[in-house]
Every structure is written in C-alpha cells, then in structure tokens.
C-alpha cells in the first residue's frame, strides 16, 4: 500500500485523502509462530497533512487462524484494529518526535504495509480458546472443570492415610 508524497501533499492541501484497499499480509505467518493463517486484510482510513506531518488514521479488519491454548486446534480470530501513524517529511527529527512515534520519510513514496503488519502483530492475542465445550482429552491427559477436580479431590483418601482411616474406623466400632 504505497503513497506518493507529492500526490499526498497536493491532495491533502484541499482536504483529507481517504483510502480503502485490500492488503495481503500472508507473510506474517512466517514471522509469528502463533499465526497459522491470515487472510488479506481490508484497510480503510484517511490521511491529513499538518505542516510537514502526514497523519494516517486507519482501521485494519480481517481474520487469522490461531492455535487454541488448551488443545492446539485451529481457532478463527476476527480482528478490527484502529491505528494512527504519523510521518514527517522534515529532514530533522527531534528526540521528542521519536518518543511520540513519528516516522521520518526519506524517500518520495511511503509504504504503509510494514506499519499495517506491525499493528496486526501487536494486536495478536497471546492466547485464544476454542469454543468447543466437549473436550474429550488426548493421550495422557483429560479436561476437567476446577469444581469437579476439587470435589473429586475431597472424596478421595490419600493412600498413605488409608490404613490410619481403617484404624480409626475400628476404634469407633
């Protein structure tokens, strides 16, 4: 998603520039081990100019496939990310601008795609869970609710104390 700085200057002089494009970000699955698949995303937004600064306000909408944190099954995760990126055409960038996240443009074209990818990676959740309620378990493990586990734990007697329990039961008789 590339923009010509000259065209942006001319068009933003009159008002704002709006854009609505489909962007292929499928290479994100190579960088992030959690993303198994990601469809092309829709990017909608506007660009305004204030002195030497270009302000891009946009939303990124799409869907990715992530592994379930419990079972590793594929979980579709829809996202809608709101982002703002500020760029400057000034040859000098101050330390304050760097802290505020202002990006310096050194070329005649601006490629917004890396910033779109960065925002997607930053918004990717650490864990997602499958909506499947009936989890049977797998080899060597099973799924149970905490309440069921606590109840089962109360009902079972520690085998080391079973003989002591029988001795106490005999004393009561």
**Mean per-residue pLDDT, 68-84:** 90
What token pair was written down for 138?
């797998």
Q: Which domain holds residue 48?
A: 2-123
**Mean per-residue pLDDT, 120-133:** 84
Strand duo 37-38 + 53-67: pairing: antiparallel
Asked if residue 138 has pLDDT above 90, the reply is no
Asked if residue 22 has pLDDT above 90, the reply is yes
User: Alpha-carbon distance 159 to 152, whole Å?
Assistant: 14
In a domain, 159, yes or no: no
Calculate the CA 67 to chain-centre distance.
13
Number of structural domains in the chain: 1
- What is the percent of the chain where pLDDT is above 90? 29
- What is the percent of the chain where pLDDT is above 70? 92
pLDDT band, residue 113 (cuts 50/70/90): very high
Asked if 64 and 37 count as a contact pair (C-beta separation under 8 A), the reply is yes
What token pair was written down for 48?
């305004």
In a domain, 142, yes or no: no
pLDDT band, residue 133 (cuts 50/70/90): low
Q: Which of 52 and 23 is assigned the larger pLDDT?
A: 23
Asked if residue 150 has pLDDT above 90, the reply is no
The predicted pLDDT at position 140 comes to 66
Asked if residue 136 has pLDDT above 70, the reply is no
Burial class (CB in 10 A: 0-12, 13-18, 19+), 121: middle
Tell me if residue 149 falls in helix, strand or coil.
helix
In a domain, 166, yes or no: no
pTM, whole model, 2 decimals? 0.71
In a domain, 158, yes or no: no
The predicted pLDDT at position 63 comes to 95
In a domain, 161, yes or no: no
The predicted pLDDT at position 134 comes to 45
In a domain, 57, yes or no: yes
Asked if residue 43 has pLDDT above 50, the reply is yes
Asked if residue 162 has pLDDT above 90, the reply is no
Asked if 85 and 104 count as a contact pair (C-beta separation under 8 A), the reply is no
Phi/psi of residue 136, nearest 5 degrees? -85, -25
In a domain, 40, yes or no: yes
In a domain, 137, yes or no: no
User: Alpha-carbon distance 168 to 173, whole Å?
Assistant: 9
The β-bridge partners of 49 are: 54
- List the one residue out of 98, 104, 15, 23 whose CA is nearest residue 58: 23
Burial class (CB in 10 A: 0-12, 13-18, 19+), 86: middle
């Amino acid at each position: 998603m590339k923009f010509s700085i000259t065209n942006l200057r001319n068009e933003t002089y009159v008002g704002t520039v709006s854009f609505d494009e489909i962007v292929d970000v499928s290479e994100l699955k190579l960088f992030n081990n959690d993303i198994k698949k990601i469809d092309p995303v829709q990017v909608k937004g506007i660009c305004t100019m204030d002195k030497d600064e270009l302000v891009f306000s946009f939303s990124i909408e799409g869907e990715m496939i992530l592994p379930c944190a419990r079972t590793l099954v594929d979980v579709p995760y829809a996202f809608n990310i709101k982002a703002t990126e500020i760029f400057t055409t000034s040859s000098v960038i101050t330390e304050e601008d760097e802290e505020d996240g202002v990006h310096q443009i050194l070329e005649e074209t601006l490629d917004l795609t890396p910033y779109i990818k960065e925002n997607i990676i930053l918004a990717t959740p650490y864990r997602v869970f499958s909506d499947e309620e009936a989890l049977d378990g797998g080899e060597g493990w099973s799924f149970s609710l905490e309440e069921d586990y606590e109840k089962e734990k109360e009902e079972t007697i520690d085998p080391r104390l079973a003989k002591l329990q029988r001795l106490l039961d005999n004393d009561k008789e």
